[in-house]
Amino acid sequence: MAMIVVKRLEAMAAEQGKTIICTIHQPSSEVFELFDRVVFLSQGRVAFHGATDEAIYFFSDCGHLIPDHTNPADFYIDTLAIWPGKFGKHRYNEALQQKIEIGRTPRKLVSHRGANYLQVLIGLFVRYIKDNMRNPSIMRAKFVQKIVMGFFLGSLYFRPINDQDGIANLKGALFYYLAEVTYATIFGIQTYLPSDFPLLTREYHDKIYPVSAYFIARVLSYMPIFSVDGMILVVVSYFMLDLPASAAQFFRILFTVVLVEWNVSSLGVCICSIAPNYAVAVSVTGPVLTVFSMTGGLFTNVGAMPSYIGWVQYLSWFRYGYESLVISNWDYPKYDNISCTIKKGKELAPFCMHNGTEVIESLSFSVHNMYFNWVVMLCFTLFIYCIGYCGLVFRAIRNR
């Protein structure tokens, strides 16, 4: 059984590039030879630390030759156990102590302080960046998903005609930007983040680092991932959708999508920080996303909502993000003359929007709200992170 276990550990170390540390009691010679490096302890002190092959020469130099047909591991253990304190009386130790005394220089003891907050923060950030890069479901799978969905979106709404049907198609395409980054981001975070909590609780109560350092490092480690994948979605599909061929409009749409993704990631982190487990987090997230998407401006005109429910739109990133995308797209000379035909030019629409301004106003949006929406989403992101941090601190303190 020991042979099987050690061989499996050896295979894991070779295949996955991991360093595996274990203890073993009285191994057989075959099992002992499987180890790359060994540590022998005697009376709480290190007697030998090095490769298994080097142990033979070390013990020989100390006057302990291994007899033939002897299990090396048993010999080392017997040698260390039979002569406790023998080394202290050996001439080799006397010579070694003389060398130490000759080279010793008196100096004051300096108390060593732990790493400062910035060093801890950088160390945690590097740890979580490596963790993300080693997780294929976070890196490669997400980026491939966005490339595939970008091509699908561009193919579905490929270069719509500048008429009333084209307006409807582009409205759906722009809203899909928000839906794709919302659902993929928030459920992705809720899949990975809860597994951090047991380790956080242990290391926090061991005073290795404060909760704030973990929280900031984890949030910063997620930001590159949940920015690049949104950019990939927009870049892949932008020209297939025949959106405005202007650098200003392109970067407005790109920044809006990234800003929405930041807002969504803050909510995902917040819910995971407060919810006691994954099931509760998912149960809360579903209704919240439904309410926010329904009040985002595509399914319901934001200006026609009843007053008793209309206030919900001002809590929704769908509303601010969708308005910014609509403004970025239709506030452009290309849409100054929109055809009133539908069904590929065969019929006239009963209600016609002649230009981009009318499209924006038909949704009860204002062309002047672009930068205001960006500021609101940034403030929401920071505020939600603060709520999540407070909830995480409370949980970490309680779970001692």
Domain shared by 350 and 256, yes or no: yes
Tokens found for residue 215: 């929280």
Answer yes or no: is 104 within a domain.
no
C-beta of residue 238 within 8 angstroms of C-beta of residue 253: yes
Give the pLDDT of residue 82.
56
CA–CA separation, 322 vs 17, rounded Å? 46
CA–CA separation, 142 vs 229, rounded Å? 7
> Torsions phi, psi of 355, nearest 5?
-150, 175
Answer yes or no: is 109 within a domain.
no
Answer yes or no: is 112 within a domain.
no
Give the pLDDT of residue 18.
82
Sort 269 into a burial class: Cβ within 10 Å, 0-12 / 13-18 / 19+.
Answer: buried
Give the pLDDT of residue 67.
85
Domain shared by 93 and 124, yes or no: no
Answer yes or no: is 102 within a domain.
no
Answer yes or no: is 6 within a domain.
yes
Domain shared by 18 and 121, yes or no: no
Domain shared by 203 and 240, yes or no: yes
The angle at the Cα of 334, spanning 329 to 338, to the nearest 5 degrees, equals: 95
Give the pLDDT of residue 291.
93
Helix (H) or strand (E) holding 296: none
Domain shared by 90 and 189, yes or no: no
Q: Which residues contact 242 (CB under 8 A, 6 or more apart)?
A: 159, 160
CA–CA separation, 388 vs 385, rounded Å? 5
Domain shared by 15 and 131, yes or no: no
Domain that holds residue 44: 2-97
Give the pLDDT of residue 350.
73
For the chain, the domain total comes to 2
CA–CA separation, 303 vs 307, rounded Å? 10
Domain shared by 212 and 351, yes or no: yes
Mean pLDDT of successive 10-residue segments in the chain (400 residues)?
Answer: 84 84 83 86 85 87 83 83 64 77 70 81 93 79 90 92 88 94 91 87 90 94 91 94 92 96 94 90 92 90 88 93 94 86 70 88 91 96 96 88
Answer yes or no: is 145 within a domain.
yes
**Could you tell me the CA-to-CA distances from 52 to 58, 73, 74, 81, 230 in Å, in that order?**
10, 9, 13, 19, 51
Answer yes or no: is 376 within a domain.
yes
Domain shared by 163 and 129, yes or no: yes
Domain shared by 264 and 341, yes or no: yes
Domain shared by 181 and 216, yes or no: yes
**Could you tell me the CA-to-CA distances from 357 to 178, 243, 338, 361, 362 in Å, in that order?**
22, 16, 11, 6, 9
DSSP 84: T
Tokens found for residue 53: 């092959």
Give the pLDDT of residue 175.
95
| Helices 370-398/211-238 angle, 10° precision | 140
In the chain, % helix, strand, coil (3-state, to 5) comes to 70, 5, 25
Give the pLDDT of residue 84.
54
Answer yes or no: is 292 within a domain.
yes
Domain shared by 189 and 46, yes or no: no
